[in-house]
Structure 1
Amino acid sequence: MERAGRSFRHSFYPAILEGFPMTTAPACPPHDARTDDGPRAGRTLAMWALALGGFGIGTTEFMAMGLLPEIATGLGVSEPSAGHIVSAYAAGVVVGAPLIATLTARVPRKTLLIALMVAFTIGNAATVLAPGYGALVVSRFVAGLPHGAYFGVAAIVAAHLAGRGQRARAVALVMMGLSVANVVGVPAASWLGIALGWRTAFGLVAIIGVVTVAAVAAWVPALSIPTTSARTELGALRRKQVWMTLAVAMIGFGGVFAVYTYISTTLTDVAGLPKSLVPVALMLFGLGMVLGNAVGGRLADRALVPGIFTTMGALGVLLAVFVVAVHNPYTALVMVFLLGAGCAAVGPGLQVRLMDVAADAQTLAASLHHAAFNLANAIGAAIGGAVIAAGLGYTAPAAAGVLLAAAGVLVFAIAVRMPADRVAPGEAVDTGGQ
């Protein structure tokens, strides 16, 4: 594996990586989850249970955008006002990720996963029962609270189960639930919400939450992952490498969201795509995410730092090509698929790097990855809206996205040149190997 990593670096980044210090956590004794966490079939079921939770979270996060007209009509508010429920959910993610990861540091990981999915289910059930607009906004905030913490803890559990050399692929499998949600869950829930009322769509998500609770309870083993403390987890915030990796996520992902936020109008007004085919385009984006997760996980397991450079650089190139290709409906659809792949490919590597550079504060760091992802959503949407409002047209968000992706690569290049954070004796924990 090390030989493959050296070959990959020398093939792709001889100029960039020469002399860069590797700023990962100190090496730990190899851990093979097979020795104490059950047979391969049991581990596979455990990871699918974790992915099911990601599927439910991805469905509730993205389907709300497609149901805004129905929600607005049902509650008697304007569509922009109904859009505040999307912001409320994102705010819940940003607040909940660090808060929950810190306060639950001593809770066993399996117990915490179950508790997070119970909270997620309650939040979505409250959405179904919300009597009015104010209650709906609060329920969406509550539903968003467990989002980042769940993905962070699930990533750590998956990496622990997978063992040495397969951590990024395990993280990618958990994230696959989020990708598949865009292909299956969001269209299905949106159709259900339009046909039977928007509350039924959130009811479906609550049912998925109940099934996930049962699956995690039945299939995820009681793991030997050591718990920490609130003070230890907050130690992640003292590490420069954690902040630099989060900055890469916030900046680099912003380019995709600058495009995706306005993708419907871009496809109809610029590409000339019929409005009836926009849902097909969004499904293509989700299919691309499925592919990107798998590719990104393998690249990161082969060589983590070069893999992140590769995926971040490819994302910038795709955004640049999109500026030209979006003027034709056929090439536009191809590029939507590839943008989904490029976006998802970056995630597994960044998630694993956060776990590495956080030493024994992995839960907080891994959870903050998803808070950063949601901040990237907000940043990208704001920048995309600004360039459109300036009269630069609907291809301008992709052009701005190229600059954001390039900035993400630059920040990461600076990060890997920085010296590793000093870690006190006893802080390093088993991350499943480098």
Structure 2
Amino acid sequence: MPVLLPVLALAVFAQGTSEFMLSGLVPSIADDLSVSTGSAASLTSAYAIGMVLGAPPMAALSARWPRRLALTVFLAVFVAVHAVGALTHSFPLLFATRVVAAVANAGFLAVAMSVATALAAPERQTRATAVLLSGVTLSIVAGVPGGALLGAWAGWRAVFWAVALLCLPALALVVRAAPAGTGGGREVPVAGELRALASRQVREALLLAAAVNGATFAVFAYLAVIATGPAGLPGGAVPALLAAFGAGAFAGVVTTGRTGDGRLGPGLRLTLCALPAGWAAVALAGHRPVPLFLLATVLGGLSFGAGSALVGRVMRTASPEAPALSGAFATVALNAGAVAGPLLAGAVAGATGDARDAAWVSAALAATAAAAVLRPAAARRTGARADV
């Protein structure tokens, strides 16, 4: 495995921590900056929207640069805006830093995925993608709970400083180890790459990734509410529940990295079929602490394993014809799901008054993904029988 991959995963770990850490910091930010809780919570939406909107233009722009320069600039900007966020007493400025951080994160991740797949042999591209995305899962296992503890002990500003400091070793190693010339100075044939991304195979892989990630984050956004509400757990149990989900997610990504090949094989199909049943089980049994912890661990593994495999499929099918934009659109698909899933879950849970009903949204999204995968296979079997 190229030494650069763990370095990029470290940076992705810091960025993933930044993306998800605000869930535990909203009350202290609201109090410190004298804004409403809803306003403070909007910082999470600002980051997600910045990720969705920032990835394609940043990937297209930076494709003209050397890979080392692109990764260095995006990571340096990410560090700088976290320092500004830690120092500011202005909510509008803090909001702006979140948007800029998300755009830098989107650009870094898009370039990093392209670099990771370029460094790996074709049969190892899914593993390279999984190593990179393991940084996101580790941020859920360790970064988010650690950020919540640090915020409770030293305040939310300390968490922003910690994210910035965590990026510095990765920044130094990127400057030393990233490829210097790949991609530098070339124009991106945007129209041609967009045509490649619109092909049926790539389009289906992007939609599947969005649906699976939407299902994942529809419940993830409500895990704390389910735990402290229907399950009757104390607030102190929430970090442990999030860590259980993250541990499963990490195991799923690692397993996919070892076994996935970017194809819709039997393992991936079986996982996609299991997810709707798993999310339905959360809706039905989420009021019991032991099943909730077990389901969170198992579904974290299945969801992130499937998501990682689908990103690997996007990169496998799109990279040959769209090397600059394939990583960007994989980023867009994941974050579009991360935005849409919680919004749909919020609408349903708000209408019913039961946070567990967010899991029915996850079950519906996962069932849609499973049906999309199974329908062509069923059609092929039907056609084969008709030919006999």
TM over 0.5: yes
Indicate how the Cα distance of structure 1 residues 97 and 120 shifts in structure 2: closer, same or farther if over 3 A, else same: same
Question: Percent of aligned positions with the same letter in both sequences?
Answer: 34
Indicate how the Cα distance of structure 1 residues 320 and 134 shifts in structure 2: closer, same or farther if over 3 A, else same: same
- Quick one: distance in 2 between partners of 1:314 and 1:56? 31
SS in 2 for 1:301: coil
The answer on 1:54 being equivalent to 2:12 is: yes
The structure 1 residue matched to 2:253, chosen from 290, 293, 299, is: 293
The structure 2 residue matched to 1:229, chosen from 173, 181, 188, is: 188
Gaps of 5+ in 2: 380-388
Q: CA deviation at 1:107?
A: 1.9
1:429 corresponds in structure 2 to none
The answer on 1:381 being equivalent to 2:342 is: yes
Tell me if the contact between 1:250 and 1:373 (Cα under 8 Å) persists in the aligned partners. Answer: yes
Q: Which amino acid counterpart does residue 182 of structure 1 have in structure 2?
A: I
The answer on 1:362 being equivalent to 2:284 is: no
| Aligned residue-pair number | 377
Tell me if the contact between 1:247 and 1:411 (Cα under 8 Å) persists in the aligned partners. Answer: no
- Quick one: distance in 2 between partners of 1:53 and 1:121? 10
The structure 1 residue matched to 2:35, chosen from 74, 77, 88, is: 77
Q: Which amino acid counterpart does residue 5 of structure 2 have in structure 1?
A: M
Q: Which moved more, 1:191-200 or 1:82-91?
A: 191-200
Q: Which amino acid counterpart does residue 30 of structure 2 have in structure 1?
A: A
Q: Which amino acid counterpart does residue 169 of structure 2 have in structure 1?
A: V
SS in 2 for 1:272: coil
Tell me if the contact between 2:109 and 2:328 (Cα under 8 Å) persists in the aligned partners. Answer: yes
Q: Which amino acid counterpart does residue 133 of structure 1 have in structure 2?
A: F
2:214 corresponds in structure 1 to 254
Show the 5 A alignment for 1:27-426: 43=2, 45-222=3-180, 229-231=188-190, 232-301=192-261, 303-358=263-318, 359-391=320-352, 393-413=354-374
Q: Which amino acid counterpart does residue 319 of structure 1 have in structure 2?
A: W
Q: CA deviation at 1:221?
A: 4.1
Q: CA deviation at 1:239?
A: 2.8
Q: CA deviation at 1:141?
A: 0.2
Q: CA deviation at 1:200?
A: 1.5
Q: Which amino acid counterpart does residue 51 of structure 2 have in structure 1?
A: V
Tell me if the contact between 1:256 and 1:343 (Cα under 8 Å) persists in the aligned partners. Answer: yes
- Quick one: distance in 1 between partners of 2:53 and 2:44? 14
Indicate how the Cα distance of structure 1 residues 168 and 410 shifts in structure 2: closer, same or farther if over 3 A, else same: same
TM-score, normalisation: structure 1: 0.81
Q: CA deviation at 1:184?
A: 1.6
1:356-406 Cα shifts (integer Å, max 9, x gaps): 332321331222222222221222112212222222622222122111101
- Quick one: distance in 1 between partners of 2:354 and 2:158? 37
SS in 1 for 2:123: coil
Q: CA deviation at 1:313?
A: 2.1
Tell me if the contact between 1:241 and 1:415 (Cα under 8 Å) persists in the aligned partners. Answer: no
Is the helix fraction higher in 1 or 2? Answer: 2
Q: CA deviation at 1:345?
A: 0.4
Q: CA deviation at 1:210?
A: 2.0
Q: Which moved more, 1:266-275 or 1:302-311?
A: 302-311
Gaps of 5+ in 1: 1-39, 419-434
- Quick one: distance in 2 between partners of 1:312 and 1:223? 39
Taking only aligned residues, the RMSD between alpha carbons, in angstroms, comes to 2.4
Indicate how the Cα distance of structure 1 residues 242 and 164 shifts in structure 2: closer, same or farther if over 3 A, else same: closer
